[in-house]
Structure 1
Amino acid sequence: MNNKNLCTIADVADLEAGLRQIRQHLHQHPELSNEESKTAELVAQKLHDLGFEVATGIGGYGVVGSLKIGNGTRSIGIRADMDALPIHEQTGVAYASQQSGKMHACGHDGHTAMLLGAAAQLARSRNFSGTVHLIFQPAEEIGFNSGAERMLAEGLFDRFPCDAVYGLHNHPGYPVGKMMFRPGPFMAACDTVNITIHGKGGHAARPHMTVDPILVASSLVVALQTIISRNIDPNETAVITIGSLHSGHAANVIPDTARLEMSVRSFDDGVRKTLEQRIRTLVSHHAEGYGARAEIDYVPGYPVLVNHQHETAFATQVAQELLGIDNVVADLAPISGSEDFAYFLQHKPGCFLRLGNGNSAVLHNPGYNFNDASLPFGVAYWTRLVERYLVDQA
């Protein structure tokens, strides 16, 4: 390995046009969680053509490409997610989704293209000593029983040992070519709570003969916010959002039930447990106070994503070398979104980072589009990270 010839942005400039084509092809043909068959086929074929050992069908449509160079004994994993979202695209770009109601509204098409670009650069430069495993993961967007969980359950790190694992996500609002890091808790745990209020329906003119579930649900929306303001330490961060409230179908009818759907987010395991306990208790007693009954379906989602100190410091240093200190944020504020890469970090040391996507629409928005100008930055960064990590230890 030649430490003097570490990858630069200029080294991957010739790959950019081809990667744009791949990215835009993936954008035109989005596949939802657990449906990524064509994307996985494309990825596997590209890796095979580059000389990687390729394994498929891991955790669903997961693909791992492995390349060993030299006599180094260390190994590193780098992950990209592949799935799209059930959103109707409104970007107006020439390569817009051809699948009605499906689009890459989170940039996983770009993440996949960047990692394929890194595969191409690593295969031709071969400027490392050790083993790199490129992990293309399905079903990140699903929220539970995700691709990361299933890949791990099927022995991902037993089959493909990694001393450390890294991943990234694009970040609208920060300039292209800027990278952001944070050691410790970085992205939130996210649980979903579905609550059904069982009351007693009847005529709108005789409310005294009913137990109005809409009244109970409406009052509960406000009461739930007291958990954040009165049960959680002000120095901690937590969010309770009621994103859906449905009940009834006519103005003159009091219905039997009302349903609320909630997103609950936190950055600490203790806070997460407190939130669940208080939500269950408050909801049950609140409904009983009105003479109603609450049915609670508490669905655990992704855990807190916790970046490891040493690996994050290393990843930050590599970014500073590649981009310059002014283009690296070493201590970005925690992000309340969630990410199933957290499961990988529970098993292996590593770091999840963010890459600027320019002044684009926000993630999960029908107007969002991955910024192709980011592609060479991601490719060069992943390549240099591998080169810096997989150094002969002799």
Structure 2
Amino acid sequence: MIETIKQLAASATADTIALRQHLHAHPELSFKEFETAAFVTEQLKNLGLDPQPMATTGVVVLIEGRNPGSRTVALRGDMDALPILEQNDVPYKSTNPGVMHACGHDVHTSSLLGVARILTQLRDQFEGTVKLIFQPGEELVPGGASLMIKEGVLENPAPASVLGQHVFPMLPAGQIGIRSGRYMASTDELYLTVRGKGGHGAMPDQNLDPVLVAAHIIVAAQQIVSRRVNPKIPTVLSFGKVIANGATNVIPNEVHIEGTFRALDEAWREEAHVILRKLVEGLAESMGATCELEIRRGYPCLDNEPELTARVRAAAEEYLGAENVIEIDQWMAAEDFAYYSQATNACFYRLGTRSASGDGRFASSVHTPTFDIDSKALEVGPGLMAWLAICELGAGESTTTTETLAAASAAGAHA
């Protein structure tokens, strides 16, 4: 079965690259992926499938094998782009100025379309159903994943597991990165307004300086990370925007501060919100000022279910070779795939996209105007994901990775 999938993936690579380049040239922002959804729907219909719309611009489709009700596995790819002006000089450069697929969602979408192409040709060789989730709005809170879950994407049929992949320019094409357990952080946006009494900078005694209060708050808040959290729980508190709209000789009436709070533990996340609010309000009051803190909740922690992740790792090692499956570290960025991981068994792994030749090409980070990928990743991504789906369908009631892979390999050998 592995060799069959590899052959199908290789033969479709040129088409997958063309799909990705079309998507890259026509990026759309979160929840505005109207043309992208229409394009995906058309491609799926051309394969004889019956895609259905969901959650504004989302698309869901089922690929049924033998005995489709026996087990369901879901695969997710996101479709939205970022508000970035592309600087790459390539034929498939964005034609939508100021919007760019700088996070690789064009890769995720084209890979999932590649999976659809592969699995539709193997329907008589696997049992169960594969649910493909083409998701909108990953880059914008509340996140397309949360909306799709609310609309029932994890129901009718309910998947036993959900798998997702994401580009990773730190690894060369041909490798993947994976980690069991807590992998990515929760993320919350902080909006703080400190109010005092402005006036002439030469007469501070007649004013109540909100700039000074804000400075104390920014410094004092760091004790939440350095002194209030268990050192074993990764936590980030960063303030990236401070607006004190006075002048060299003008103390303003108020100061606006924006920041982010991230953590790898949901219970601590909730506790930290309470601590932060008490700290900023108490400190402002002690200095005679007032403040308002708005905490906009973002995505939760992303947890890779250990048993599922072990199966994915073993299946990936069989497909790519053990040397190409890399253990990666926790990451304090956030992803709305976390909602799937909070709702059911889920595994989110990283797809290497740097030049496999080691010449440093395609090394730009995601969310930069020069991000691009080695096209070899578009052969690896669809084939591996198709193989992982079939292995998971074969997992059934097996309790060990060895049993899972044996069942999947036996099914392929007899097909």
Same fold (TM over 0.5): yes
* Change beyond 3 A, Cα 1:67–1:368: same
Q: CA RMSD in A?
A: 1.6
Instruction: Give yes or no for contact 2:2–2:319 (8 Å, CA) kept in 1.
Output: no
With structure 1 as the length reference, what TM-score do the two structures score?
Answer: 0.95
Q: Distance in 1 between matches of 2:203 and 2:63?
A: 73
Mapping for residues 234-383 of structure 1, pairs under 5 Å: 234-329=231-326, 331-358=327-354, 359=360, 360-383=363-386
- Secondary structure of residue in 2 paired with 1:166: strand
- Secondary structure of residue in 2 paired with 1:53: coil
Quote the residue 2:390 is aligned against: 387
* Higher normalized contact order (CA 8 Å, seq sep 6+, divided by chain length): 1
- Secondary structure of residue in 1 paired with 2:43: helix
Q: Distance in 1 between matches of 2:75 and 2:8?
A: 20
- Alpha-carbon deviation of 1:345? 1.6
- Alpha-carbon deviation of 1:281? 1.1
Quote the residue 1:191 is aligned against: 188
Mapping for residues 89-128 of structure 1, pairs under 5 Å: 89-126=86-123, 127-128=125-126
CA deviation digits over 1:116-154, x for unaligned, max 9? 011111112333111111000000000x22111111111
The correspondence for 2:163, drawn from 166, 183, 200, is 166
* Change beyond 3 A, Cα 1:4–1:264: closer
Query: Is 2:136 aligned against 1:133?
Result: no
With structure 2 as the length reference, what TM-score do the two structures score?
Answer: 0.90
The correspondence for 1:20, drawn from 3, 17, 21, is 17
Q: Distance in 2 between matches of 1:12 and 1:367?
A: 27
Moved more, 245-254 or 333-342: 245-254
Q: Distance in 2 between matches of 1:71 and 1:230?
A: 56
Q: Distance in 2 between matches of 1:361 and 1:288?
A: 45
Q: Distance in 1 between matches of 2:5 and 2:36?
A: 27
Instruction: Give yes or no for contact 1:129–1:392 (8 Å, CA) kept in 2.
Output: no
Instruction: Give yes or no for contact 1:6–1:384 (8 Å, CA) kept in 2.
Output: no
The correspondence for 1:60, drawn from 53, 56, 64, is 56
- Alpha-carbon deviation of 1:309? 1.2
Q: Which amino acid aligns with 2:207?
A: T
- Secondary structure of residue in 1 paired with 2:292: strand
Q: Distance in 2 between matches of 1:269 and 1:63?
A: 30
- Alpha-carbon deviation of 1:92? 2.5
Identity %: 39
* Change beyond 3 A, Cα 1:38–1:201: same
Q: How many residues align?
A: 388
Instruction: Give yes or no for contact 1:44–1:65 (8 Å, CA) kept in 2.
Output: no
Moved more, 35-44 or 227-236: 227-236
- Alpha-carbon deviation of 1:14? 1.8
Quote the residue 2:404 is aligned against: none
Quote the residue 2:411 is aligned against: none
Q: Distance in 2 between matches of 1:353 and 1:75?
A: 20
CA deviation digits over 1:143-193, x for unaligned, max 9? x22111111111112234211111011112111111111111111000111
- Alpha-carbon deviation of 1:5? 5.2
Unaligned runs of 5+ in 2: 355-359, 397-406, 408-415
